[in-house]
Amino acid sequence: MQWNDHSRLVGQHAFLGASKYHWLNYDTQRLVDAFMSCQAKEKGTRLHAFAAECINLKQKLPKSKKTLNAYVNDAIGFRMDPEQVLFYSENCFGTTDAIAFNDKDNFLRIHDLKTGAVPAHMEQLFIYDAWSIMSNRKIFLSKIAFTKMMMFSLRHRRQISLIPSSKRLKNLTKSLRI
């Protein structure tokens, strides 16, 4: 049989795909809500890619109160690396939105960009903090004086500063059997 050529769709997933068959039972409003949620996720993915590209190119955005602009400009100003994978094991890894370590001050900085409607939680940044130590333990274990974590959210801007002692870091890594 001669099938129509849809090779441009290889590797992609449709919103109303067969593997996500539950939509067959959705009423109109639930289908609309699911579609809007899907669109919001795609927009968030594109905004993250745009922000990473701006940071990589060191292209600052106009100063404003917009979350994206503040996130990009801060990341550039603090010489952060965007979309950095932190790896501990095949089952324990993730990608930070932006991260930097300042050797001079022994200062780890982690920023996270939230573009969706789901409330932001600092626990995600605590995990990135731990993974940065675990994935780079020979470098960071004795060096990190403190970590500053900042979450950039469309709803609000939250930050927290931690000052972990060497003992706390050693206990963390010991408990995780590093």
Measured in degrees and rounded to the nearest 5, phi and psi for residue 85 equal -80, 130
Task: List pLDDT tens digits, range 52-79.
Answer: 999 999 999 999 888 899 999 999 999 9
Contact yes or no for 60/73 (Cβ under 8 A): yes
Taking CA atoms, 155 is separated from 108, 148, 151, in Å, by 25, 20, 11
Neighbour tally for 135: CB within 10 Å? 18
DSSP state of 18: G
Task: List pLDDT tens digits, range 24-43.
Answer: 999 999 999 999 999 999 99
SS3 string of 48-106?
HHHHHHHHHHCCCCCCCCCHHHHHHHHHHHCCCEEEEEEEEECCEEEEEEEEEEECCCC
pTM to 2 decimal places = 0.77
